[in-house]
Structure 1
Amino acid sequence: MRTSLGEDGRSAAPAGDRVALVLCTRDRPEFLAGALDALQRVLPETVEVIVVDSGSVTDATRRVADRDGIRYVRSDIPGLSIARNAGVAATTREIVVFTDDDCELQPDAIERLTAPFAASTVGAVTGRLRDHSDTSDAEPPPARVLSDTRDGLAAGHGALMAFRTALLRQLGGFDPVLGAGRDFGGAEDLDAFCRVLHSGSTVVQAPDAVVRHLFTRSDDDYIRLNSAYGRGIGAMARKWVAATGGEGRALTRLALRRAAVRLARRLGDSRARHGQWAYLRGFQDGYRRAGHLSVDGLVFRDQNPPAAVDLASSAPDTVTERGTA
């Protein structure tokens, strides 16, 4: 169910001292330097910024964070969900915002992203991801409130999202088996949105809160990415079926229907078509392989986490000057 956002949800953004921004990264100091430069230009000074190093093999990530005076947290166990959960554990702020190291936060994005939390029913808010090649100046669509669990599948993107910290912790954080760095390499953001909605809270789409994606993937990377996303959503679907029965089956049908529609719309584009086929094959693989995993509530039990990564010292010239990424 989708309804218009009422005025009570947009009255004012929480003060910056109630907000933490978590930026997870791994072995990409140049990207991190550029992302932090963009944040410095647009973030209110009172927002807490936390860089979470997801198992980098050198200390270059820490040196970028230290140079900019940013709080640094390291997880020796790699995985995006694991890193995000480390960021959640590291803050005492009421609202936690997430963005990526290959994204550039746009002016006023934090204020617009956090304003809907003025309504006590809001558990999460998502912003809008724009590609660096998108030069359109069209007005963004209006904000929307989502309340049905299935709406989480189209609620937004992990590149710009915010949660009530206490609620996210209560729900078990991000599923550590899902997301980049794991075999089921996607859907950890969609899974979190669905769990927020399942809990009875709402998710708000705030398309006037914008982050710009600065990185274009090669065709091979694009296929691998779609395959990983497919495995993630397939595993997520299997988990929801195991945990909730009918609700999970409804999620699965919707996910497959949306994938089929995307494929039909992209048949004329060879790159997109191959990407969607990779996604569907990945979905089947993820659904099958997730059948043997145990579930605690609505989160997979991480019985085989990645091996810890030893941190080695890196040469100083591995870190570029801030803003050159």
Structure 2
Amino acid sequence: MRNHLPYQISHIYLHEGLSLPSLSTHDQGNYLVFWWHDVALGHVFVAPQQSLTETSYHDKLIEAISPAITFYKNQAKMSPTAWKEWVYQKKSLALETRLNNLFSPVSQDAIPDRVPIAAVICTRDRPSQLQNCLSMLLSLPCRPQEIIVVDNAPSNDASAEVVKQFGEVTYIKEPRPGLDIARNTGARDAQASIVAYVDDDVTVHPLWAYQVWKTFQDPGIAAMTGLVIASELKTEAQFIFEKHWSFNRGYTDIFYTPDFIQATLSQGPPVWVIGAGANMAFRKELFEQVGYFDELLDVGAAGCSGDSEMWYRILIKGYTIHYNPRAIAYHEHRREIEGLKKQIFYYMRGHAAAALIQQRQQKAGYIRHLFWRLPKQYAQLLKSGFPNYRYRHKTLFVEMLGVLSGLNYYFKNRQHARQ
């Protein structure tokens, strides 16, 4: 069986040129992310040994960025143009004039040094990742007003020693294990009116804090999620995750309102599509209105999904969540298959438990989702993956075990579930 080949991530800035970049394809694949200055527009996978001509490259480029260009064009109420032909003809000047006008509503003229948000990092026994994360946050051209590290049931003082190196960072030791417990501790301690969460294994775009703050300048927004781009795709596990479990929710703004719940109520609202807990933020006052993260869904307990259950609660209470793709984080996926399988097991364990908790809050189609659609989906995947079970099919058995484990966990602990 041929070994999986790594994928090289290349960030292509279209304002710098439209020509086919120099790509090595013999012993690697390529993952291309397209940008116009600070706005991410789309991405494309180029398989190993897949050769590209100038024309085929432009075909893939146009297909990848068309949804974002159309979205921004509609937002700006601009008439259609021949921008696709300009790409093929490499008319950089014409394209630059047009796209600069197109993105002017989301461009930044003056960026403040700090914005009044609290960045909360929940960590546990990962001092090297924490050090990198704090160094990165403190080097941003626009920094959060507060940075809070919640050290979640640590086995030693390594993280506390790391935080001592950064005088502006608040350290909180939370002895009770659980990600949602740590999230709640950070939210309660934050002084800023906006609470943003960052995983200790992510880096963020230089304008991340600014974009988070800017999102909440709309008084109708109660919470937000942002774009998450893979930072590495060297291993098979990382490739599988990005292809089939990606945190990337696209390159166009989405506003999730209570209508989203009503429109999908019969199928079980898929709140897990709203974003990723690695890049999310809330108005602090919102926690008093809808409650804090459900600690029944912690890693080590149900598994996870505390973030998606929170989004469900926010929407059924009548609030709006904004997915803002200009607030960007880069996530380091797990490198080993066993680590990926463990991650996916807990994803599905938490998914099942959260779905039943959400069902109790408002009757929806989660029972049908768990006991009809998911089994049907897994039956089809088992059939299509037989007998080798490669790539997407490698995690099938831990996924199914995770669902069963989540159901068992919920029924054992349902008396403690949020009413």
TM-score, length-scaled by structure 1: 0.78
Distance (Å, rounded) in 1 between the aligned partners of 2:176 and 2:254: 36
Distance (Å, rounded) in 2 between the aligned partners of 1:34 and 1:244: 41
2:290 alignment partner in structure 1: 171
Q: Give the CA deviation at 1:15.
A: 9.4
Distance (Å, rounded) in 2 between the aligned partners of 1:98 and 1:212: 13
Letter of the 1:293 partner, please give it: N
* Structure-to-structure mapping, 1:1-325, within 5 angstroms: 16-42=114-140, 44-45=142-143, 47-69=145-167, 70-133=169-232, 141-147=251-257, 148-149=260-261, 150-180=269-299, 182-246=300-364, 248-249=366-367, 256=374, 263=381, 267=385, 270-294=390-414, 299=418
Question: SS in structure 1 opposite 2:302?
Answer: coil
Distance (Å, rounded) in 2 between the aligned partners of 1:25 and 1:129: 19
Q: Give the CA deviation at 1:294.
A: 3.9
Letter of the 1:155 partner, please give it: I
Deviations 1:157-201 (A, max 9, x none): 011100111112432211112132x23111111111111111111
Distance (Å, rounded) in 1 between the aligned partners of 2:341 and 2:372: 22
1:322 alignment partner in structure 2: none
2:57 alignment partner in structure 1: none
| Greater relative CO, 1 or 2 (CA 8 Å, sep 6+) | 1
Q: Are residues 91 and 258 of structure 1, via their aligned partners in 2, closer, same or farther at CA, if it must alter by over 3 Å? A: farther
Task: State the percentage of identical aligned residues.
Answer: 25
Q: Are residues 46 and 116 of structure 1, via their aligned partners in 2, closer, same or farther at CA, if it must alter by over 3 Å? A: closer
Distance (Å, rounded) in 2 between the aligned partners of 1:111 and 1:293: 41
Kept in 1: contact 2:143–2:209 (CA 8 A) = no
Letter of the 2:394 partner, please give it: H
Q: Give the CA deviation at 1:37.
A: 1.1
Distance (Å, rounded) in 2 between the aligned partners of 1:15 and 1:142: 27
Distance (Å, rounded) in 1 between the aligned partners of 2:207 and 2:379: 34
Deviations 1:24-56 (A, max 9, x none): 101111110011111112263452000000011
Q: Are residues 66 and 108 of structure 1, via their aligned partners in 2, closer, same or farther at CA, if it must alter by over 3 Å? A: same
Larger Rg: 2
Distance (Å, rounded) in 1 between the aligned partners of 2:130 and 2:114: 22
Distance (Å, rounded) in 2 between the aligned partners of 1:118 and 1:11: 15
Q: Which runs of 5+ in 2 are unaligned?
A: 1-70, 77-104, 235-249, 262-268
Distance (Å, rounded) in 1 between the aligned partners of 2:362 and 2:292: 18
Q: Give the CA deviation at 1:11.
A: 10
Give the aligned length.
290
Deviations 1:225-262 (A, max 9, x none): 11111110100111122332236547758984997599
Q: Are residues 104 and 178 of structure 1, via their aligned partners in 2, closer, same or farther at CA, if it must alter by over 3 Å? A: same
Distance (Å, rounded) in 2 between the aligned partners of 1:162 and 1:184: 23
Q: Which runs of 5+ in 1 are unaligned?
A: 301-325
Letter of the 1:185 partner, please give it: G
